[in-house]
Chain A
Amino acid sequence: DAMVIQNPRYQVTQFGKPVTLSCSQTLNHNVMYWYQQKSSQAPKLLFHYYDKDFNNEADTPDNFQSRRPNTSFCFLDIRSPGLGDAAMYLCATSELAGVTETQYFGPGTRLLVL
């Protein structure tokens, strides 16, 4: 089945220690998104790629970076995690299609910062 895969499902890191979360897709979609969802809150977009074009949300901290080496993979790098970065990180993909564009999400990675 075509799907969005996120690894790992759970990640524990230490305060200030860089961490990388990964997302892969078999849907061959041209857009990939990273959302952050803190406890009891709605998801919030951090950034996204349309093909190789990177689009950063204005309020995304510089501590967060992303890479998309090819169509299938996208990475979220947190350079120096703080306690406030503990959250669920959701990857989503879509095929660019205007208002009908539907985003499909992976299972998420829960990040814990000690």
Chain B
Amino acid sequence: AQKITQTQPGMFVQEKEAVTLDCTYDTSDQSYGLFWYKQPSSGEMIFLIYQGSYDEQNATEGRYSLNFQKARKSANLVISASQLGDSAMYFCAMRVSIYNQGGKLIFGQGTELSVKP
């Protein structure tokens, strides 16, 4: 069965420093997609970055990068130059196909990131 594990319930980082949020996954599929979402206290889930299982390069989107290690089944999110506005809950997720009619996201339990001034 597909599963996402985030082992860090909470993290602190100093403003302007980099931080890595851990994510490991389990799947028997050869082709899969991994996602990171940010959820501020307002509740909206904001898409940050995507990594495909066949992508040879690690994904990057501005200050966000994904450290993808396929053999280890890990997809860690790296946020460079942290800002106060980065304080939020971060979810790692994997897409599971549903009969070619869409795909549900399986989420990890999340990591609460707090950026200190």
Q: Is A81 an interface residue (CB 8 A)?
A: no
Q: A96-B101, A105-B45, A108-B44 known; A43 and B107 CB under 8 Å?
A: yes
Residue interface mask B23-58, A partner, CB < 8 A = 1: 000000001110101000011111100101100000
Q: Is B85 an interface residue (CB 8 A)?
A: no
Q: Is B104 an interface residue (CB 8 A)?
A: yes
Number of B residues contacting the other chain (C-beta, 8 Å)? 29
A: contact size bracket: 20 to 34
In the bound complex, do residue B33 and residue A100 qualify as a contact, i.e. CB atoms below 8 Å apart? yes
Contacts of B32 in A (CB 8 A): 99
In the bound complex, do residue A90 and residue B45 qualify as a contact, i.e. CB atoms below 8 Å apart? yes
Contacts of B110 in A (CB 8 A): 42
Interface stretch of the complex, out of B62-70, B74-82, B90-98: B90-98
Contacts of B42 in A (CB 8 A): 107
Q: Is A101 an interface residue (CB 8 A)?
A: yes
Q: A92 vs B103: C-alpha distance in the bound complex, in angstroms?
A: 11
Chain B CB count within 10 A is highest, among A45, A57, A88, A106, for A45
Can you list 10 residue pairs at the A/B interface with Cβ under 8 Å?
A33-B102, A33-B104, A41-B109, A43-B105, A48-B101, A90-B43, A99-B33, A100-B50, A103-B105, A106-B44
